[in-house]
Structure 1
Amino acid sequence: MKQSYIQSIPKLIFVLSIIFLSIYFLRPPSAEENERIEQALREKKLKNHLQNEKVAQQQQHDELSRKLNKMITDKRTKDEQEAIDITRKIIAEQLKFRFYDSIPGSSIVHNAMRLKMFRQQLECMTSRGDWVFDPTPRPIIKHKQDPLYGRCDREFVQQQSWSPDMPDNFTVEEKWNFTRESVKYVWKTPTECPMPKFDVSQACSMFSGKSFLLVGDILHFQLHELFLDYFSDDSVQCYGEISCKEHVLCDVDPNNNWKTSKMMFVRNDIISLTKNASNVNKILEYPWLMKIRHFNVIIINKGHHWQNDVSFRKGLIDLMNYLRKGFPDILIIYKATTLGHLNCQAAKKPLSSPPNATELESLPYHWGEIHRQNLIAREIVETAGGVFLDLESVMITRVDGHIGARDCLRWCIPGPMDVWLDFLFHIMKELR
């Protein structure tokens, strides 16, 4: 009987638990409990309302931003098309030398189809590519010229615990381990317009007998430095960023059938036809016209020294008329102006996409108007039988790799602008 009593205890406890729980849950809540429940419900309702209101406000803000960006995009597109239409009209009236099937100074002569294919290929390479991170070890250009362009490497060294002087016997892989991230991106193009790569020997072969005159502002001087870093083993003395003496890029080599190739830079911020040195409103114009006869390729650029469209257009048309009249066989390459980037010091990688119309419209220093003037330049240069190199599209997302310290226009060497040489090598290969 005692055993039966013991066995019944769990059942009794279970029954009592059911009774107590029923009493607890079935009894009406107290006034305090009711108030707590109602307060919790009110807070939850308010929280949901605020969340829904926040979502609605964000959706409204996004919709307004989309509408504003579309309005600005439409306006910019209209302004750009009007600028192109005006330029074409003025070209017909004022540009005395027009070429629709040839590029003077090249092998494209009276061949409209080949000219069209060349320009389409170059445009595909410059406007349809993307910057892609590539960790594959590869040779990197070593900067040996103006210390300004080595700022990124110096800052990188300060952040590390190793010496900046890498022994020459380091392998490519070992040097790669001490290379900045901004150098490890490559410009990836579609399969129909693959990005070419050349070594120094191939470049010297394509440059054989070519003499390059570079005329532009201090941003154009970057190209001068890049040429020297690529072709020279040592540093070369220049007169600051104003001008530089003539340099040999590739010396004569009978074994490879190379002729000497050379280069020279002259600073003229607006590539004017001045015959006297001028420095007005911080616009430097050094005479360069008397030097042209010693060169057969001229690479020019109107940089960030702002002119309105009327002055910009007139100056470039006058220049093309002068060059084509006096030097009909010279090859003209116009390097598009690149945009500056705000807050470049903090950038660790390229932008995921180019700035939209609203962002471009808000940029300082007339940066937002650079694209329209590049379109104007393309119309004039190509009609005059020159080559327009669209580096704006290539560099617009490269917020990283800039010199920094308030200079968000120029890039360090090595860096994003290394790809400029690949485009120029391609141009010289196709036109030789």
Structure 2
Amino acid sequence: MDLLRIATAGSVDDGKSTLIGRLLFDSKAIFTDQLEAVEKTSRERGSEFTDLALLTDGLRAEREQGITIDVAYRYFATPKRKFIVADTPGHIQYTRNMVTGASTSDLSIVLVDARKGMVEQSRRHTFLVSLLAVSHLVVAVNKMDLVDWSEEVYDEIRQEFVDYATRLNIADITVIPLSALTGDNVVNRSLNMPWYEGPSLMHHLENVQVASDRNMVDVRFPVQCVIRPHSNEFHDYRGYAGQVASGVLKKGDEVIVLPSGLPSTIKEVSTADGPVAEAFPPMSVTIRLEDDIDVSRGDMIVRPNNQPIVAQDLEAMVCWMSEKPLQAGQKLAIKHTTQSARTLVKGLRYALDINTLHRNETATQLCLNEIGRVTLRTTKPLLADEYRRNRSTGGFILIDEATNNTVAAGMILEAS
């Protein structure tokens, strides 16, 4: 079975946690004692329904306020597919948490309250989904039970989303009317909305095709570590372990190692279970080469005629995650694939208002949760691709060396 990574998004009280709880409950993915604990807490609060949001909102502050603060990850499976769901917060001050949850997702679910329609946070999160190059977007029009299952309300919200999304770069948009509280159109088709002819949410999640979203053309294998077993049986063994970022690797392929540029041929590709015919993203493998050449952590194995950009100057969009603002002249550490370096923030091109998509070119700093375009200069060359082409080799994080805190997530727009 393949794996689908999902991130939820939407405004506060749109029902993200309840929806995930409903998916877990209706797909029989929670234990009896978990359900009993949630039912008990719901009764103590005087709720008419079992509050399924309690399955994901585990922090005491979340339960007291009835909101999501941290990113909660939940795992479940159906006979067709395995799922990892990131329940991300809706508050504007937790934008950095939403970026963290969506950065590794194949699909994002943006919830909309049917009574309110598309609000500011809906636009904000839809833009972030586009910025993070998430290929598939599901707009879940929730709380349809509170608008009498109105087709007119659904059509109005669907059209508004489609019009807004044409300004962004989202390849696949699906709009589904549902009620997370009652379960209509979540796992099973709803009898209350006979006018809706599309799939239920679970049916769509089980069948959406994501394998073609991965870059299978550009071979990129960042070396994470060199394996040299100290035993007589493997005294000549030298393997290079890491996760395939993109492309397909197999025995006999001609490759070169960057940044040295030394050529070789793949002798063997293996996993923990032994040799495999080929490796593709996101497999973690060990590669052996025919030639005994110098390869170390941070190097990258690629094809001779398809190489990344070797760059020290980067144009990038960053989401700032620190209380202390980002300013030009700042020195930070940068972590890109398996490589680490130091970088100078040469300039701030503009800060972006992600509600209006307006660029503030007079901005002198980026504050917490703000997004902007910056120019960076690294102390050593990075082996990079544009983020739109390759999320693995086009993304990076910035680290404050004084505190060792991650202060920004970045996406490379241009490299030279």
- Answer whether TM exceeds 0.5 for this pair: no
Q: Larger RCO: Structure 1 or Structure 2 (Cα < 8 Å, ≥ 6 residues apart)?
A: 1
Higher strand fraction: Structure 1 or Structure 2? 2
TM-score normalised per structure 1: 0.31
TM-score normalised per structure 2: 0.32
Higher helix fraction: Structure 1 or Structure 2? 1
Larger Rg belongs to:
1
